[in-house]
Chains A and B, each alone.
Chain A
Amino acid sequence: MALNKEQIAKRIAQELQDGFYVNLGIGIPTLVANYIPEGVNVVLQSENGLLGMGPFPFAGEEDADLINAGKQTITTLPGSAFFDSAMSFGMIRAGKVDLTVLGAMEVSENGDIANWKIPKKMVKGMGGAMDLVAAAKNIIVAMQHTNPKGESKLLPACSLPLTGVNCVRKIVSDLGVFDVTPDGFVCIEYAPGVTIDEIKAKTAGKLTISPNVKEMAV
């Protein structure tokens, strides 16, 4: 069985290390915060100007001045800090943020990512995505392996306008975990119940199966 969104988030949470500063994008990446492993302390960065983002507030305690990058009401944790938008992207650009998790519409075998625009259909803007993918030293993409039509989103080359070039290093999809290497996608884990043949059939870009491939633990 392919993974659901919660399971994708849970698998990505296994990548978190104690002391990491982490930026989580909108959608599946946000769910990663629910599965931070016991004993691992991470600080969540919200690019609108906060380090130390906490959970949603209790009803009645929402504050319009305290939101995350998805414009949701949030809270702070002890030790948090506010800053302006230039400093926020400055710390991202300077490599201070250890891990960025974001969604994608397409990823190419050389690590290009497209996730901001569908010509003539969706013109919402890139927000902070281009800054994040250009600068973060460690980017994990959380995505469905195929689009609603069943077509692969792991491609030889992206067909949609790019967000960044040669920047994605790892993908966690509903079918498995993939490193993005100079040699294309390398499958290192498969989801429980998903076959290697299914992964091959649904991956349009260059794919190799790691000799050490194993079942994902989720």
Chain B
Amino acid sequence: MNKVVANADEAVRDIPSGAMLMLGGFGLCGIPENCIASLVKKGVDNLTCISNNAGVDGFGIGLLLENKQVKKMISSYVGENAEFERQLLSGELEVELVPQGTLATRCMATGYGMPAVFLQAGYGTEVAEGKEVREFNGKQYLMEMAFDSDFAIVKAWKGDKMGNLVFKDTARNFNPLMAMAGKITIAEVEELVEPGELDPNYIHTPGIYVHRIFQGKDYEKRIEQRTVRQR
């Protein structure tokens, strides 16, 4: 078993143009910075990206957008990115807006081997258009489908060479769900350790879900809204 790759370039080597990718993170928190940079360098295009947000201008998925590499975004909130809005209004970019809990649960369903889930969110709104509605206990639910994603790219705090992952604080967010949901899952970690160094009681993502792992470098970890209080 050898899941360790040297770097991000090697991890994303076989991601083709037109692929469907899941990218972990919430805002800029817990995003796979190294793999995004490698995808920009590689120049693959026509990507469908499943990610809660679309980065900001000049960082995160914003870099892929500026480089015109994204055909479609599947996201819950994209309000931080002017280039995104420009491409959307000009028709260059497709977008499927999905309620955040529905997005998370569709990722979860994918990783749990469930084809669909029934969720109330969006019933009676434009999100419900074209979806099957089922009634349970007098309430209406939308049938929401699992994803068919070729690759999932996640960022963890620590990982071992078996692919076991631990996330830090709210940088966990969508990462463990997407890690379960890729046909091929790539994990970049801040600290890569030997098997046995992580306590099995505290593993968030078991290594069975992770196909490639590497220690990332030069994490910028930008903060979107720096809020502080006075001492």
Contact = CB atoms under 8 A, between A and B. Distances in A.
Given A64-B222, A92-B101, A128-B76, A48 B170 contact: yes
A160 to B, nearest CB: 11
A88 to B, nearest CB: 7
Interface residues of A, number: 52
A134 B99 CA distance: 11
Given A55-B229, A84-B177, A131-B100, A62 B124 contact: no
Contacts of B173: 48-49, 84-85
Contact of B27 (A46, A55, A67): A67
Report the interface size class on chain B.
35 or more
Interface stretch (B5-13, B35-43, B103-111): B103-111
A78 interface: no
Given A71-B224, A85-B26, A63 B229 contact: no
A89 interface: yes
A124 B77 contact: yes
A71 B81 CA distance: 14
Interface stretch (B114-122, B192-200, B208-216): B114-122
A93 B117 CA distance: 13
Nearest to B106: A86
B124 A86 contact: no
Contacts of B88: 123
B116 to A, nearest CB: 15
B46 interface: no
Contacts of B218: none
A128 B29 contact: no
B102 A131 contact: yes
B62 interface: no
B52, B79, B104, B121: residue with the most chain A Cβ atoms closer than 10 Å = B121
Q: Is the interface of A mostly helix, strand, loop or mixed?
A: loop
A138 interface: no
Contacts of A130: 99, 101-102, 121-122, 125, 127
Contacts of B230: 58-59
Contacts of B103: 85
Contacts of A129: 99
A57 B229 contact: yes
Contacts of A164: 121, 123-125
B126 interface: yes
Contacts of A74: 227
Contacts of B85: 123
Nearest to A122: B79
Contact of B120 (A85, A93, A127): A93
B159 interface: no
Contact of B77 (A64, A89, A125, A165): A125
A73 B226 contact: yes
B72 interface: no
B29 A67 contact: yes
Nearest to A130: B99
Interface in A85-129: 85-86, 88-90, 92-93, 112, 123-129
B160 to A, nearest CB: 20
8 contacts: A47-B100, A68-B170, A71-B27, A73-B225, A85-B173, A123-B95, A131-B101, A161-B125
What are the 3 tightest A-B residue pairs by CB atom distance, in nearest-first order? A89-B101, A124-B79, A131-B101
